[in-house]
Structure 1
Amino acid sequence: MSRIDVAIPSFNYARYLPACIESVLSQDVDDIRVHVIDNASTDDSVEVARRIAARDSRVSVLARPANLGPHASFNTGVDWASGTYMMILCADDLLAPGSLRRAAEILDRHPGAAFAYGAEVEWNAADAEPPRLPTQEHLGWSHEDGTGYLRRRCLDPMANHSMGMVLVRTDIQKRAGHYRETLRYYDDHEMMLRLANLGGVASTDAVQGIRRIHGCNMSNLYNGSRREDLEHRLEAFRSFLAIDARRRPDAVELRALSDRNFAATALLWAGSALAGGRRRECMDLLSFAASVDPSVFWRPPLGRAFRRGGRIDRLMRQFLPRPAVAPGGAALARDALS
């Protein structure tokens, strides 16, 4: 199997670092390297990392004397990697057993794929034991070309795809380049778009990683409004479309798709805010929708609202009677609203 390089950016995560590194070293992969990039931690993260490196030659440590921000650590990992495949794994997360082999094997079989990713489960800091992973042997991989992935993301720009626990073909990552420091949030979302612009995408429903949920997660430190969240996500999409996708023949179509669906999301959220009595939030979201794609007001996203699980569908289910259920659990009415 080809060599896999895993860069682990770390800042004040001494309590999580040993388990994170062990989850990588215990993978069923013969040729693997781990590089811990410490961003001037004030706890004993560096000492913890160096003790592990002293016991295992596959581990190396870079200790920065000053905090240069997360982008510098991500980009150092990109520059350091030289194996066939690479991953940037946050120091508070864990890889699921067998995940690297699964991802590397699918990339081996699909040389046109830029990266491979799978499902994640969350481990709440309040829980002493990690979540039990489901049986996954029967879960295979699907493969789509980069254009299909990009269209799917533009149709659903709020999907939470992130670079955590994603195995990337290293030469593709080098071509995509560094994470952009101009993007304070959702730079990882933009990176996945940039990678898909250079190759296909492999995905699986099998759990590839465990994401720890605790008070210091970067996502938890963000406390912006819904409009601000939409603005940051849109900024990431537009950065990709303006820089990396500008020469694509479908660049204008992708821009229109993403703008339409960002505006549609804002419109639906505005309706929810109005129903909840949050008039100011409603007006902010309507203003955002108008600035991105005004056509959403005379072509509203009714399909999204009425589809199964959509906002109006959920409201109707609260007030209409549930379908009768026969003994043994068989539904007599398939679905009153379908």
Structure 2
Amino acid sequence: MRPVPLTGRPKVSVVIPCYNYGHFLPRAVQSVLEQPGVDVQIIVVDDASSDGSARIAEEISVAEPRVAAVVHEANAGHIATYNDGLSRCTGDYVVLLSADDLLAPGALARAAALFEARPGLALVYGRAPSFSEEPPRPVKRPVSWTIWSGPEWIERICRRGTNVIANPEAIVRREVVERLGGYDPRLPHTADLYFWLQAATFGRVGRIDGPPQAYYRIHGGNMHLGEDDLSDLVERSQMFELFLSSPQLAAMALSARTALAREALARATREYDLGRGHGPLAAKYLDFAHEQGVELDGLNGWSALQRRQTFAESVLAQKALSIVGRAHRRMSTTAELARIRRTGVA
């Protein structure tokens, strides 16, 4: 859809949780203060950092009236910190921006324009390219909108079995945040995806296509789950089970379990390609796939894993399969990322 220009000047509340990210904090705040076309309320919540983050937050709040600093005397954990900030929001729309991430120029006005033009929207997101030191240089791209009904978006997420939102690019209508009551502490690592899925039950979901809405910083401190960590799959499985517990959602639950089983098979295959097929992780991935209660032999990836297992004792055959498998995964991953960038939900 073609975008409609923003009329009026809505207020956007941006919660910035911070724990020992004081060296990142000023730039995150600045990326919000420089947003044109909207009024901003910034709430920095420091969770008893030990690196002087609280002092930095308070100094910023003294110099800038649009910034409020909330300092925890004791560490409450990231979910409680998120919810503390969300409970203080007074804007029309709400953003949760980690202190190490950045908003892209013009992001809030673009999202507010979509919200204002389509009052039935509950959630808006866009692209969030990753970076380490400096975000990518902005490239002017045409803006367009994509809108899904809530059930359609939820169904697409279930078919993927994973999240398509990094976090800083997502904006939620404040009334939806209030009805949800914040993030669920039962899901410390998947509360964000659970939150987006719940939001989609209250209205439609929109996406800003074209320019990035935020920049997601990659560094050692936020890599709490490695790519070979089974807990990632287990926690997503628990999240989908909680969200899709109603009998009316049985078809979506099957889609989610199928997607998770397919991913587990791909990870098990990768263990063989890395020469670790006889290790414990490959077996755990395969056990997890079986636990999803779907027919594995009908899934993409099952035959590839079977070939790896058959030729595991042949060094030459295993090496050839490994080379082909790695090349195929690289092409598949590249194509998948391209689809997500283009469509928002592959």
Q: Within 1, Cα distance between the matches of 2:266 and 2:326?
A: 18
- CA gap 1:253/1:69 in 2 versus in 1, 3 angstroms: same
1:174-198 CA-partner distances (Å, limit 9, x unpaired): 1122211111212111111111121
Structure 2 residue 110 is matched with structure 1 residue 112: no
SS in 2 for 1:198: coil
Tell me by how many angstroms 1:51 deviates: 1.5
CA contact (8 A) 1:19 1:94 kept: yes
SS in 1 for 2:147: strand
Tell me by how many angstroms 1:304 deviates: 11
Structure 2 residue 220 is matched with structure 1 residue 199: no
Structure 2 residue 99 is matched with structure 1 residue 96: no
- CA gap 1:119/1:76 in 2 versus in 1, 3 angstroms: same
Aligned to 1:336: none
Aligned to 2:15: 7
1:144-183 CA-partner distances (Å, limit 9, x unpaired): 1111111111111134423323111000111122211111
- CA gap 1:318/1:41 in 2 versus in 1, 3 angstroms: closer
Tell me by how many angstroms 1:303 deviates: 11
Structure 2 residue 218 is matched with structure 1 residue 213: yes
Map 1:190-269 onto structure 2 (within 5 A): 190-205=194-209, 206-217=211-222, 220-223=223-226, 225-242=228-245, 246=246, 249=248, 251-269=249-267
1:269-323 CA-partner distances (Å, limit 9, x unpaired): 22232343322322111100111124223x2236998xxxxxx9x938959xxxx
SS in 1 for 2:128: strand
Aligned to 1:22: 30
- CA gap 1:117/1:13 in 2 versus in 1, 3 angstroms: same
Map 1:272-291 onto structure 2 (within 5 A): 272-278=270-276, 279=278, 280-291=280-291
**AA paired with 1:269?**
R
1:11-31 CA-partner distances (Å, limit 9, x unpaired): 111111111111101101342
TM-score, reference length from structure 2: 0.81
1:314-333 CA-partner distances (Å, limit 9, x unpaired): 938959xxxxxxxxxxxxxx
Aligned to 1:315: 324
**AA paired with 2:238?**
E
CA contact (8 A) 1:162 1:192 kept: no
> In percent, how many aligned pairs have the same letter?
30
**AA paired with 1:315?**
V
CA contact (8 A) 2:104 2:214 kept: yes
Q: Within 2, Cα distance between the matches of 1:303 and 1:82?
A: 50
Q: What's the C-alpha RMSD, in Å, of the aligned pairs? A: 2.3
1:79 to 67, 76, 87: 87
1:21-47 CA-partner distances (Å, limit 9, x unpaired): 111011013421101111011122112
Aligned to 1:188: 192
Aligned to 1:44: 52
SS in 1 for 2:244: helix
- CA gap 1:33/1:316 in 2 versus in 1, 3 angstroms: closer
Q: Within 1, Cα distance between the matches of 2:57 and 2:266?
A: 47
**AA paired with 2:250?**
V
1:211-250 CA-partner distances (Å, limit 9, x unpaired): 1222212xx13348442221112122222223xxx37x4x
Aligned to 1:175: 179
Map 1:290-329 onto structure 2 (within 5 A): 290-297=290-297, 299-301=298-300, 315=324
CA contact (8 A) 1:143 1:200 kept: yes
SS in 2 for 1:142: strand
SS in 2 for 1:216: helix
Segments of structure 1 that go 5 or more residues without pairing to the other structure are 306-311, 320-338
Tell me by how many angstroms 1:80 deviates: 0.9
CA contact (8 A) 2:168 2:215 kept: no
Q: Within 1, Cα distance between the matches of 2:240 and 2:136?
A: 33
